[in-house]
Amino acid sequence: MSIIIYPHLKFNLSDGGTTVQYYLASILDSHNIDVKICNVHDNNTENVIFNKFITFEKARNTKNIVIYCEGVVGNPLNAKYVVRWMLSKLGMNVPVHFHLTWGLNELVYFFNSEIDLINYNNFKQLTTLYVNPIFKDLQQNRTNTCFTYRKPIIQNPIIIHSPDSFEIERSHTQNDYFEIFNKCTTFISYDSLTFLSFIAPLCGCISIIYPTPGLSKRDYFKTTFIHNYMVEKNIDSIYGIAYGNSEEEIRYSRETMHLLKDQITDFQQWNLKYIDSFIHDLRNFESNKNTLLNYTDTHLYRI
């Protein structure tokens, strides 16, 4: 079995979607799977995660399995076997109509849990989590507050950061995050699904996720990549993460952030079973039921 991963953007550690695609390649390679990256956006530039490549010309019309994310229109490599990895919900980062260009026999996997599909038999999750080893708490004096809008689910949220807070934008790098989070006391994210909310407490910064109106803390975690782990571990919170800015939540973030690193490592080990299941699915590609056709037919999730 051979796999080609076709990223939707050039490699950038500060772009979570691109990073996890390269990290998936690294994990599959460690399982002795023949896997290569075909990145037409940066001409297969070398990077710190994975460096086995194939050119577009050689990958075109391939009989290999090709993995695209939701940000890729159609099937550029004209592959027979396609996996569509939903790194975010349609409409959040890319237009909803993109799915009209996909094949109905493509297999569909989700990076995050989906609150309306948790009990759907054919729902398949595929999550990889790369954490840059630079992130740590330098034990510095902190005075600032920072925030990000990123891709907020809530339009026009009620602002809870102070006017003098520093905004983290998409142009910032991982080194910038490291520096900012080590200078700030508190980080507020209006994007409930950005991994920045996990990076901040690793650097000793209180992490507040702006709550989605009408969505409880328990239901919020049902929309995240870590939900199934929480269910199996019988926990209702993640160390270092505050859902909303109540005193209780902020205290929890402050008092538990030092435990987050080990919890992330535990999650990464626990999550390997998804990789084993994914490899099994690919080796039995045509027997799987998690196709785009089945998702559109259920009317449970109109992608």
Domain residue extents for the chain: 2-128+271-298, 144-265
Helix-strand-coil split of the chain, %, nearest 5: 30, 15, 50
Cβ pair 112, 138 in contact under 8 A: no
Confidence band for 260, pLDDT divided at 50, 70 and 90: very high
DSSP one-letter code for 287: G
User: Average pLDDT of 21-29?
Assistant: 97
pLDDT at position 78 is: 96
Total residue count of the chain as it appears in this document = 303
Report the share of the chain in percent with pLDDT over 90: 75
Confidence class for position 119, pLDDT limits 50, 70, 90: low
Q: Report whether pLDDT(281) > 80.
A: yes
Whether 188 shows a pLDDT value over 90: the answer reads yes
Distance of CA 3 to the CA centre of its chain: 20
DSSP-H helix ranges across the chain = 16-30, 56-59, 174-181, 196-202, 217-221, 227-233, 247-256, 260-270, 272-283, 292-298
Per-residue confidence band for 116, with pLDDT thresholds at 50, 70 and 90 = low
DSSP structure class, residue 210:
P
What integer pLDDT is reported at residue 210 of this predicted model? 95
Q: What is the pLDDT of residue 299?
A: 47
CA distance 111 to 107: 13
Averaged pLDDT of the chain: 91
- Give residue 63's pLDDT: 87
* CA 227/CA 220 separation, integer angstroms: 9
pTM of the model: 0.88
Predicted confidence band of residue 113 (pLDDT cuts 50, 70, 90): confident
**Residue among 240, 113, 263 at smallest CA distance from 186:** 240
pLDDT band of residue 179 (cuts 50, 70, 90) is: very high
Report the pLDDT averaged over residues 178-187.
97
Q: What is the pLDDT of residues 136-172, one digit of tens each?
A: 999 999 988 999 998 756 677 889 899 999 999 989 9
Q: Which CATH class is domain 2-128+271-298?
A: alpha beta
pLDDT score of 284: 96
The per-residue pLDDT for 300 is 44
Tokens of 80: 């027979």
